[in-house]
Amino acid sequence: MLAAFGGEQGSSVQVVEPATPAAASAAAAGSRQQLGGSEGQEPQAVDATEAAAAAGAGALLPSQPACLDAPMHLMRVRSIPSWANAGFLGASLSSLVCGNIRWILIQNAMLDLPWLLSACPDLHRAERILLVSHRPWLAKKAKVEEGAKPRTLQARERKLADVRALGLEDRASVYEPAIGGHGTNHSKFFLVDYERGMRVIIMSANAVFSDCNNKTQVLFTQDFPRKDEQSPKTSAFEGALEAYIRELRMPCGPTLHLVQLIRSCDFSAARGHLVASVPGRHKGADLHKWGHMRMRAVLCQEAFPARFRGAPLAAQMSSLGLLNERWLVREFRYSLAAGLCEGGTDVLGLPANGPLGLQLVYPTVEEVDD
């Protein structure tokens, strides 16, 4: 089980994997389809070796049989032993963001577009690129020297300059979602649309060289085919993804087109629950729609072996942000411990009080500086 998100202070999209083996095995077929191949090529199930060797296929499967169809990966890290980058430990954007891309939505808190196109050269051939990036809310309060431009405007102009320098001005658009002064847009994901379906990539890394090459990062990816006559009309994953896209508050045209693309795909075999956070304070019907309360609602539907009753809780993050002890103890702990005991209706329950009850893993200042 993995859960990670930005809390009410931020906006992020992450995935909680289903706890039940039946849910995972039933979904396996949905992740085998090869979406990024050349036109006219029939989709087919492939084994790990064939997938890795397929030119332009954007192979999702690692090279070790035991790792077939794994939705969760660690990203490749430079200058470490080769075994540490093997199988699901060595995912790279170049093998995922590739092939005959029709539309692609790229959202990230930090986006180095020239580097990203060098790492994923097939982006140069994409028919349409939507770039959604973080608008720093602190810039609203920052003092601006006379005659100087605000940081938000400077950042947007840099992105537009990159688009022009790369010759993408006729195919790429830059959006910075407006926020109401509370929270940030911190999501890091790709929606890659192909002729036969859509690839979803959600990761913990900023789209910059150092994050994607020098640090341990986690990545979820799965391919989803177009709907056919046997496909369900919708699914929980589809609904959550569409709701998040609407919350980006992009112009009507690209929003509606993305919604149509999402609705055209079958997400019923999704091997995870989508847990998204959006800026703002949520109440009423939206209380369990976003953030840790969404995670709580998801976990309440999942059954775990009885040995997990009262088990210690651990959460990993890149920074603590505005989290405080009161919120961690009185809210976040209860959300993490919301799973059900297998074979019954009892919840797992909270761990013992004290430092071992809730463990937070985050980098030190020295580690960040290095």
pLDDT score for 99: 95
Q: Does the annotation flag 188 for ligand binding?
A: yes
Task: Give the phi and the psi of residue 30 in degrees, each rounded to 5.
Answer: -70, -20
- Write the pLDDT tens digit of every residue in 261-303: 999 999 999 999 999 988 888 888 888 999 999 999 999 999 9
Residue ranges in the chain modelled with pLDDT below 50:
1-10, 19-33, 38-68, 137-144
Nearest to 97 by CA among 237, 194, 242, 27: 194
Distance in angstroms (rounded) separating the CA atoms of residues 134 and 188: 10
Select which of 73, 124, 182, 186 is catalytic: 186
Contact at 8 Å (CB) between 14 and 4? yes
pTM over 0.85: no
Where do we find the tokens 């709580």? 296
Q: Strand 340-341 and strand 197-203: pairing?
A: unpaired
Q: Which domains does the chain have, with CATH numbers?
A: 12-277 (3.30.870.10), 302-369 (no CATH)
DSSP string, 29-89: GGG----SS-TTPPP----HHHHHHSTT----S-SSGGGTT-SEEEBP-TTS-GGGGSGGG
Number of helices and strands in the chain (H, E): 11, 13
pLDDT score for 317: 80
186 is catalytic: yes
Cα–Cα distance list, 121 to 98, 107, 124, 126, 260 (Å): 8, 18, 6, 10, 27
* Beta-bridge partner residues of 173: 130
Distance in angstroms (rounded) separating the CA atoms of residues 189 and 191: 7
